[in-house]
Structure 1
Amino acid sequence: MTWMIYGAYGYTGELVANYAKSQGLKPLLAGRNEKKLKAVAERLELPYDVVNLEDEVALRQALGEMDLVVHCAGPFEVTAAPMIDACIATRTHYLDITGELAVFEYAHSKDDEAKRAGIVLCPGVGFDVIPTDCVAARLKEQLPDANHLTLGFDSASRMSRGTAKTSVRRLGEGGAVRRDGKIETVPLAYKTRTIDFGNGEKFAMTIPWGDVATAYYTTAIPNIEVFIPASPKLVKRLQRMNYLRWVLRFEWVKNWLEKKVEQQPAGPSEKQLEEALTCVWGEASNAQGEKVSLREKVMNGYKLTSHGAVDVAQHVLAETPQGGYYTPAKLCGAELIERYRIK
């Protein structure tokens, strides 16, 4: 089986390529920047191909020789659709490491086309959203009639530049929750509450995390919110920012914010990758007021992403599931989280 890592020279893409190499695998590395791509490929002694997503003919020609692509080049709100469309056209399985709601919804809208093409579409095969998706699936098993699902995580790890760019690009869109089965736009820091994610109670706020989309497809629970720890000061700052969200939608403002992000380190250090663990939490409740909760400790989010992307790719290539849209827990089972659990 032949497979590709697209965007293999970005911070997370390179981690994915490193892990694949450590497992004795030989994916084709791809991307549009030949200098950066060649440096990674030569270091890992892996084949590479310079492919620009904007060149539809060249992209489809490259994918036509692949069984699967792991898409790692963001911002995914820009890059996912052309890659997904090309994968459907060339009958190439599609995985990515996004956490962007719009991408999950776009992939889900392509379910019928993926079925006809006989390919898997499974975005979110990294920290976004493997651990939270598996927690959601297990909570659904414990409380089958749940109608509310709350998920969250606590990580001390630094964001990569790519994740930070995605975050600032979305500020103008506000937050998001799922209510009565539909995704609703809400203000930034829409809700706050105190949560014990697994390392003591912390003040937390809602964020527009990928599970607002994916957990619904995994569990069919119609009301979903996702929380992370946040200082009261940050919450107030974000709530004040709601009055200026319209300004943040201008492309020149997004570009300015992205340039600010470029001044940050590429991502977590080697020490953080090994030591900065993540606490994942979830709670489900039903109409009768019954509640169940679950806590897990997993490896650093970026390390988990590098492992998850490769693990799910190998699962798809080995098991050849029926075509269609999947979430990680639907594709690999809720037990997938056990690979990344810290005892």
Structure 2
Amino acid sequence: MKIAVIGASGFTGRLVVAELARRGIEAVLVGRNAERLRAAADGTGFEIRIATIDDQISLDAAFAGADAVINTAGPFARLGAPVIRAAIAAAAHYVDTTGEQHYINEVFDTFTDAAADAGVAVVPAMADDGGPSDFISHLVGQTAGSVDSLTVALWYRDGSLSRGTLRSLDPDLLFDGALRYENGGWATYGAASHAAWRFPSVDEFVGVSKAALPPVATVPRHVPVGRMEGLLGGSFDVLKDGIAPAVIDALPEGPDDEQRRQGRWTISVMASGPGGRIVRGEVEGTDGYGKTAVIAVEAVRRLVADGAKAGVLAPSQAFAPESFMDFLSEHGVRWRVTEG
């Protein structure tokens, strides 16, 4: 098994490289800066290959012989499509760590036929927010049987964001541009259905904003649902106003090990069905960036070792949700589905 990692010298990319090395999986590190790639590969024995996203020929060559590609190089709306094209051309499965809702829909619209024809799986949004929220939503929908409305709320606290994450955030798309699934399609909408949300393990309600969360783009593809929207817990006034590139450039590349350990994230899902039936799902974890690396590496391992149907797939279409969540439980992620 050989996995190509593009964006391998970035903050999340280096965590993915470390996870591949920890699990003894062969990797090829791909990027434009040889010195940074050599630093990322230090002590692993991994091969490095130079390629740039605006040079399709170099990308195609970089992925040659790879069984799968992990893409950690955002912003994905600007940089993702050439990488997917190169992975498909190399007949390699593809996984990325995007959280960009609009981009996820574009991947389904653009690459479904090409991926199916090539016999490969393309699975976007395999990160701490996209993968677990898709899996728990599927399990909630499975328990509910019939779902009129599905709401996913995500709450990050006690941590910090990497420069790459901040650069990938488009405040207009993340907040006002958030999509809601309704009447068989996705569209922007007005006010959120909730102004506050009761998350597990806390007594008080938490203020929430409507937000362009990844599961809203993926879950309706495998859970029959009338309406679905996403909420983000906490205050994000700084992000809504936008952060100047110079300010982002002056920040640390990402949280240090202690900050990562302290960072907590919670996914809370509520499904409403006929007769007022309520089914809830909860996922809680720490170190979102570290868990993203674990999720992305396990995803490509399963695609290569176990196989998957070809095409662009939501996480729950590519993998058995309960099995994947049980795997994450071994890494300190807690989850449950309850009725009432």
Task: Tell me whether 147-156 or 101-110 shows the greater mean CA deviation.
Answer: 101-110
1:253 aligned partner: none
What is the aligned counterpart of 1:184 among 174, 183, 187?
A: 187
1:151 aligned partner: 152
Percent identity of paired positions between Structure 1 and Structure 2: 25
- 1:281 aligned counterpart, secondary structure: strand
| Distance across 2 between alignment mates of 1:37 and 1:166 | 21
After TM superposition, give the deviation of residue 267 of structure 1 in Å: 1.8
Q: Residue 119 and residue 333 in structure 1: after superposition, are their counterparts in 2 closer, same or farther (change >3 A)?
A: same
Q: What is the identity, as a one-letter code, of the residue corresponding to 2:197?
A: I
- 2:225 aligned counterpart, secondary structure: coil
1:2 aligned partner: 2
1:164 aligned partner: 166
After TM superposition, give the deviation of residue 293 of structure 1 in Å: 0.9
What is the aligned counterpart of 1:338 among 323, 326, 333?
A: 326
Counting only pairs closer than 5 Å after superposition, residues 84-95 of structure 1 correspond to structure 2 as: 84-95=84-95
What are the superposed Cα offsets for residues 220-265 of structure 1, whole Å, 9 maximum, x if unpaired? 324111112224x839x95xx6xxxxxx8xxxxxxx8333222222
- 1:272 aligned counterpart, secondary structure: helix
1:202 aligned partner: 206
What is the aligned counterpart of 2:219 among 206, 215, 219?
A: 215
Q: What is the aligned residue count?
A: 325
| Distance across 2 between alignment mates of 1:48 and 1:169 | 34
After TM superposition, give the deviation of residue 91 of structure 1 in Å: 1.5
Counting only pairs closer than 5 Å after superposition, residues 1-343 of structure 1 correspond to structure 2 as: 1-109=1-109, 110-156=111-157, 157-168=159-170, 170-171=172-173, 174-186=177-189, 190=192, 192-200=194-202, 201-231=205-235, 234=237, 238=240, 257-335=244-322, 336-341=324-329, 342=332
Q: What is the identity, as a one-letter code, of the residue corresponding to 1:174?
A: G
- 1:44 aligned counterpart, secondary structure: coil
2:338 aligned partner: none
What are the superposed Cα offsets for residues 89-113 of structure 1, whole Å, 9 maximum, x if unpaired? 2212111000112321122122222
After TM superposition, give the deviation of residue 131 of structure 1 in Å: 1.1
What are the superposed Cα offsets for residues 173-217 of structure 1, whole Å, 9 maximum, x if unpaired? 632222223221236x74542212213221111111111201111
Q: CA RMSD in A?
A: 2.2
What are the superposed Cα offsets for residues 108-142 of structure 1, whole Å, 9 maximum, x if unpaired? 12222211110000011111311111110111111
| Distance across 1 between alignment mates of 2:118 and 2:112 | 10
| Distance across 2 between alignment mates of 1:20 and 1:102 | 29
- Decide whether the 8 Å contact of 1:28 with 1:48 is kept in 2: yes
| Distance across 2 between alignment mates of 1:5 and 1:267 | 19
After TM superposition, give the deviation of residue 169 of structure 1 in Å: 6.1
| Distance across 2 between alignment mates of 1:298 and 1:218 | 25
- Decide whether the 8 Å contact of 1:155 with 1:277 is kept in 2: yes
After TM superposition, give the deviation of residue 31 of structure 1 in Å: 0.7
| Distance across 2 between alignment mates of 1:5 and 1:120 | 16
Q: What is the identity, as a one-letter code, of the residue corresponding to 1:66?
A: A
Q: What is the identity, as a one-letter code, of the residue corresponding to 1:264?
A: L
- 2:26 aligned counterpart, secondary structure: coil
After TM superposition, give the deviation of residue 287 of structure 1 in Å: 4.1
TM-score by length of 1: 0.88
| Distance across 2 between alignment mates of 1:224 and 1:265 | 36
Task: Tell me whether 10-19 or 282-291 shows the greater mean CA deviation.
Answer: 282-291
- Decide whether the 8 Å contact of 1:81 with 1:106 is kept in 2: no
Unaligned runs of at least 5 residues, structure 1: 242-247, 249-255
After TM superposition, give the deviation of residue 170 of structure 1 in Å: 4.7
- 1:209 aligned counterpart, secondary structure: coil
- Decide whether the 8 Å contact of 2:216 with 2:228 is kept in 1: yes
What are the superposed Cα offsets for residues 314-337 of structure 1, whole Å, 9 maximum, x if unpaired? 101101222111122221211212
After TM superposition, give the deviation of residue 286 of structure 1 in Å: 2.0
After TM superposition, give the deviation of residue 281 of structure 1 in Å: 0.7
The structure whose residues are more often helix, as a share, is: 1
What are the superposed Cα offsets for residues 287-311 of structure 1, whole Å, 9 maximum, x if unpaired? 4322111222223211110100110
1:252 aligned partner: none
Q: Residue 38 and residue 169 in structure 1: after superposition, are their counterparts in 2 closer, same or farther (change >3 A)?
A: farther
Task: Tell me whether 34-43 or 14-23 shows the greater mean CA deviation.
Answer: 34-43
- Decide whether the 8 Å contact of 1:98 with 1:128 is kept in 2: no
- 1:102 aligned counterpart, secondary structure: helix
- 1:288 aligned counterpart, secondary structure: helix
